[in-house]
């Protein structure tokens, strides 16, 4: 399975409502989300299964990615703000039969999962900043295909 972990794009510091889950993407965050969608489309992720936290900023990020991939978004409660990394992992495990899975969520779970997949339980090898992603080929053995950092990466090398 090809697994892409995406941290939502840059969001406004405070929402109008004052609620964290209502924070919206900034213009930069919208560009980051569109960029990740384009990268994934070029890497062959068209019509990949896409799951997302229902918070506004992840929803907006997912919409940009889904548009590029011609995918539908499934909102997963285990990816919501304040949930444990184990709950996010449960959402992924429930969809492990998919060939390609794109997961859009928040930190710390997205960085924790990327670290765990790249270096094992307890590893602190990955830190996904806003608007970044990591792609994994999950097989035996697990292989980190590549991080997606707007300042450094033009495409996901190795993603099929």
CATH of the domain at 128: 3.40.50.1240
- Kindly state whether residue 132 falls inside one of the protein's structural domains: yes
- Kindly state whether residue 36 falls inside one of the protein's structural domains: yes
- Kindly state whether residue 90 falls inside one of the protein's structural domains: yes
| Range scoring the smallest mean pLDDT among 21-25, 56-60, 148-152 | 148-152
**Using one digit for the tens of pLDDT, what is the confidence trace for 25-74?**
999 999 999 999 999 999 999 999 999 999 999 999 999 999 999 999 99
**Alpha-carbon radius of gyration of the chain:** 14
What whole-number distance in Å separates Cα of residue 123 and Cα of residue 120?
A: 6
Token couple for 148: 């997606």
Structural domain total, the chain: 1
Token couple for 95: 């969809």
Q: 135 — phi, psi (to 5°)?
A: -115, 130
- Kindly state whether residue 153 falls inside one of the protein's structural domains: no
Measured in Å, how far apart are the chain's first and last C-alpha atoms? Answer: 10
- Kindly state whether residue 65 falls inside one of the protein's structural domains: yes
- Kindly state whether residue 115 falls inside one of the protein's structural domains: yes
pLDDT attached to residue 121: 61
- Residues 6 or more apart from 94 whose CB is under 8 A from it? none
Instruction: Find the domain containing 52 and state its range.
Output: 2-8+20-148
């Amino acid at each position: 399975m090809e697994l892409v972990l995406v941290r939502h794009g840059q969001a406004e510091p405070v929402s109008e409502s004052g609620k964290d889950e209502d924070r919206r993407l900034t213009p930069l965050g919208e560009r980051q989300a569109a960029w990740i969608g384009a990268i994934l489309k070029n890497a062959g992720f068209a019509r990949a299964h896409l799951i997302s936290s229902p918070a506004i900023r992840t929803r907006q990020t997912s919409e940009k990615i889904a548009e590029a991939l011609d995918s539908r978004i499934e909102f997963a409660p285990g990816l919501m703000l304040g949930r444990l990394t184990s709950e996010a992992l449960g959402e992924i495990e429930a969809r492990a039969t998919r060939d390609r899975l794109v997961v859009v969520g928040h930190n710390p779970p997205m960085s924790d999962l990327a670290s765990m997949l790249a270096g094992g339980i307890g590893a602190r090898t990955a830190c996904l900043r806003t608007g970044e992603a990591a792609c994994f080929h999950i097989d035996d053995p697990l292989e980190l295909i590549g991080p997606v950092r707007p300042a450094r990466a033009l495409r996901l090398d190795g993603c099929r």
